[in-house]
Homo-oligomer: A and B are copies of this chain.
Amino acid sequence: MHNIKLTLAYDGTDFHGWQIQPGQSTIQQAITDVLAKLAQERLAVHAAGRTDSGVHALGQVASFKTHSEMTPLEFQRALNALLPPAIRILACDEVGPDFHARWNAQAKTYIYRIYRGRVVPPFVWRYALHDPFQLDFDAMREAALLFEGERDFTSFAASTGSEEDDRDRGATRSIFQSEIFRGDDLSSKCASLDSLGLARPGPEEWIYLVRGRSFLRYMVRKITGTLIDVGRGRLRPDDIPRLFEMRDRSRSGPTLAPQGLCLLSVEYPDPADSLARRS
């Protein structure tokens, strides 16, 4: 039995999210169908984060176990030949038997892109929210930092569900980094971008970046919606701690449209480290 790790990017525009749903076109369905053909067996493919309908990924990670003797490079080439161009396997590696894309993930980084120019270029509308109206950048930046730390995110999530699992762990989540900056600063904030071949956003974009252990459903889109309410003056940075205490999702900002959201990367423990710890 081989355990295979996929690093993949997708344009989520035309998909109903990651997870298989009857009668819908999903990323997991597309990959499972191709793998079934290649490996001649039914496989279960697990992703680090179950992105919602319309959400993109630049560095999603998925894993599956197979009896197939195809090499990782053969899997990558065949998958890219048979998948639509909107889904690309960026890397494919054989990993140890204990690796699981979802359970072993230590951190995930998402960005939410807000296009600030008056007219959205036709090459950007699929990947950003358009908000050309006046927003107080400094207030938003101040508010963004207040989401860092371990907190109960009930006020900043969908009423049910979490992005990565079905286990009930309550609404407490750990956020390591929560920051808003201009698009042309993205490369300096995130070194992995260059290796992913992403066209770099320009200064007309504002980008909210959040890195955390795991996330509740709609959490990033609702935090960004709250930050826009702060930018608009409907909320002040001082209101954020109060909103956390309320545990009332109706008081925070709206859940923004999915097309601005992109799963940038997933981090795992260094295999050498975990080996060392085990021995």
Question: Which residues of A are in contact with B by a Cβ distance under 8 Å?
Answer: 9-11, 56, 58, 76, 80, 85-90, 115, 117, 119-125, 127, 194, 196-204
Integer count of this chain's copies in the complex: 2
Question: CB distance A120 to B85 under 8 Å?
Answer: yes
The 8 closest A-B pairs by CB, nearest first: A199-B199, A11-B122, A85-B125, A121-B197, A200-B200, A86-B122, A197-B204, A88-B119
- Chain B neighbourhood of A88, CB < 8 A: 119-122
A122→B90 CA distance, assembly (Å): 10
Q: List 16 A-B contacts (CB under 8 A).
A: A9-B123, A11-B123, A56-B122, A85-B122, A85-B125, A86-B122, A86-B125, A88-B121, A119-B197, A121-B196, A194-B202, A197-B202, A199-B199, A199-B202, A200-B200, A200-B202
The answer to whether B89 and A121 have CB atoms under 8 Å apart is no
Residues of chain B within 8 A (CB-CB) of A125 are: 85-86
Known: A87-B122, A120-B197, A198-B202. 4 other contacts (CB 8 A): A9-B123, A56-B123, A85-B122, A124-B199
A193, closest chain B residue (CB)? B202
Q: How far is the CB of A12 from chain B (nearest CB, A)?
A: 9
| Inter-chain contact A200/B199, CB cutoff 8 Å | yes
What residue in chain B is nearest A194 (Cβ atoms)?
B202
